[in-house]
């Protein structure tokens, strides 16, 4: 029986971050993982999907570049080669992470599934591991909706979609969130006939409705079919095809595809942990934690998807670092989520930081909202990147920027300027005092800021170029 200063259950992004921080305090850490080693982001999430998206992006650019005077003839797709490249890249990430663990003398890696025996010990196979502190970072598992006939008919999830080397002729995608839209667009650009089925009234239903409506329009322009307000009734096999029976806005439809991709979200992976023995409370969404990432058991913390707060890698790392710090420091850190950036790598990209209009209304805040389209921005026009727009929310009294939403090109890079501005609680007036390079895509933020400023009591007028 071995005892450690910290026992971390789960070696993904959040768990590794907690372990790394704890070793910085000179602590001895047991890092337990049931495998395969690497965590969701590296193995089945962020990194493999973005690797594939780059290939489909290039294929799309080659197929549409004639409008810019560059015609590409004889374009061929080597899809097994695309998957092989992805596998090689992912192996590099896994090897790098393993070397970080292996080379740290304060981390003992233990492979196996952990189960609590008490608040101070877990069992891994025949081993009993004791710890002064614990961090639960077991990630999430796929959620499969209870649609009649789905399991009997068969389907693939994002796990299989990222691995298969053959392309179906047609694909029905169940879901309207990040994974469904990213992979749906990827396969469409690879030549697959793709149809999206979302049960809510818009894509990206957690965002303001205008975002999902606009994105659906762009996906349809690329040849994808998008259905919202879907009520699934049954899924069945019809020869070599799979049949989706549903109602869309109350109207019955029957859709057939060669394959079905289920991308309806994930849920906290807490099964078999025996959290009751540790005195750790949890809900269907995840482990209950406070701002210090501490659970209902004072010596046990949690981080990442296991908490159900934000299923995002950068949030998992953030929470893991806080958990590793608070486990041993007398000066406590508290998690705050006002400035969590969210990005979906569709084309156009969706990126946001801060509140939605819906959230502002729910909080009873009076805000001024302004938007500006990319098709009226000089740099976007020059480069042919005119899809989408930027929307900004500001406090109706002070002009403080409360939220920025971007549907357009280079969103993953552009949004961070607004993240910094909001970190320092900048107002639209202060934003307009910053000189923006011209021509640049980042200039677009000045236009909704200017409109909001005009509506406030202290208007600012930009000088003409």
Q: Write the secondary structure of 404-440 as one string of H (helix), E (strand) and C (coil).
A: EEEEECCHHHHHHHHHHHHHCCCEHHHHHCCCCCCCC
How many angstroms separate the Cα of 47 from the Cα of each of 40, 65, 90, 93? 9, 27, 7, 9
* Residue 180 annotated as part of some ligand binding site: yes
* Residue 34 annotated as part of some ligand binding site: no
Task: Taking each helix axis as running N to C, give the angle between helix 178-189 and helix 46-64, from 0 to 180 degrees, rounded to the nearest 10.
Answer: 40
Phi, psi of 100 (to 5 degrees): -60, -40
User: Which among 330, 429, 438, 458 is annotated as catalytic?
Assistant: 438
Distance CA 59, CA 47 (A): 19
Q: Is 325 a catalytic residue?
A: no
Torsion of CA 22, 23, 28, 32, to 10 degrees: 70
Contacts of residue 25, Cβ cutoff 8 Å, sequence gap at least 6:
328, 329
* Residue 177 annotated as part of some ligand binding site: yes
Distance CA 213, CA 311 (A): 23
* Residue 50 annotated as part of some ligand binding site: yes
Q: Identify which of 374, 357, 355, 345 has the alpha carbon closest to the alpha carbon of residue 418.
A: 355
* Residue 398 annotated as part of some ligand binding site: no
Torsion of CA 31, 35, 40, 42, to 10 degrees: 90
245: which 2 tokens? 């029976």
Q: Which residues are catalytic?
A: 438
As annotated, the binding site for FAD includes: 50, 138-140
As annotated, the binding site includes: 50, 138-140, 175-182, 198, 265, 305
As annotated, the binding site for NAD(+) includes: 175-182, 198, 265, 305
């Amino acid at each position: 029986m071995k005892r450690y200063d910290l026992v971390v259950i789960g070696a993904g992004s959040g768990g590794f971050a907690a372990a790394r921080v704890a070793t910085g305090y000179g602590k001895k850490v047991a890092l337990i993982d049931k495998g395969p080693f690497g965590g969701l982001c590296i193995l089945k999430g962020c990194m493999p999907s973005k690797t594939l998206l780059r290939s489909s992006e290039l294929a799309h650019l080659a197929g549409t570049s004639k409008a810019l005077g560059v015609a590409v003839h004889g374009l061929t797709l080597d899809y097994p080669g695309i998957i092989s490249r992805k596998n090689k890249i992912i192996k590099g990430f896994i090897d790098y992470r393993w070397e970080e663990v292996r080379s740290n003398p304060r981390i003992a890696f233990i492979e196996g599934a952990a189960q609590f025996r008490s608040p101070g010990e877990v069992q891994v196979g025949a081993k009993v591991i004791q710890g002064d502190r614990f961090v639960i970072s077991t990630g999430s598992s796929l959620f499969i909706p209870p649609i009649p006939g789905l399991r009997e008919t068969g389907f693939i999830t994002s796990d299989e979609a990222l691995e298969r080397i053959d392309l179906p002729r047609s694909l029905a995608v169940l879901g309207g969130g990040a994974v469904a839209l990213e992979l749906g667009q990827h396969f469409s650009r690879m030549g697959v006939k793709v149809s999206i089925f979302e049960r809510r009234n818009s894509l990206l239903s957690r965002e303001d409705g205008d975002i999902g409506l606009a994105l659906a329009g762009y996906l349809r322009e690329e040849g994808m079919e998008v259905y919202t307000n879907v009520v699934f009734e049954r899924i069945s096999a019809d020869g070599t095809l799979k049949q989706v029976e549903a109602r869309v806005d109350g109207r019955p439809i029957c859709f057939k595809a060669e394959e079905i991709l289920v991308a309806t979200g994930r849920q906290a992976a807490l099964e078999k942990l025996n959290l009751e023995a540790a005195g750790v409370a949890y809900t269907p969404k995840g482990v209950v934690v406070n701002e210090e990432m501490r659970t209902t058991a004072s010596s046990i913390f949690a981080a990442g998807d296991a908490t159900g707060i934000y299923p995002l890698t950068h949030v998992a790392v953030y929470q893991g670092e806080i958990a590793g710090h608070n486990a041993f420091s007398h000066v406590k850190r508290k998690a705050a989520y006002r400035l969590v950036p969210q990005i979906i790598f569709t084309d156009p990209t969706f990126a946001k930081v801060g509140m939605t209009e819906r959230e502002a209304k729910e909080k009873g805040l009076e805000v001024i909202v302004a938007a500006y389209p990319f098709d009226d921005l000089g740099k976007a026009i020059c480069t042919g990147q005119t899809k989408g727009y930027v929307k900004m929310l500001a406090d109706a009294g002070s002009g403080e920027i409360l939220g920025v939403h971007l549907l357009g090109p280079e969103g993953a890079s552009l949004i961070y300027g607004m993240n910094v501005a909001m970190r320092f609680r900048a107002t639209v007036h202060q934003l307009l005092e910053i000189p923006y390079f011209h021509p640049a895509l980042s200039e677009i933020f000045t236009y909704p800021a200017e409109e909001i400023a005009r509506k406030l009591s202290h208007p600012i007028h930009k000088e003409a170029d």
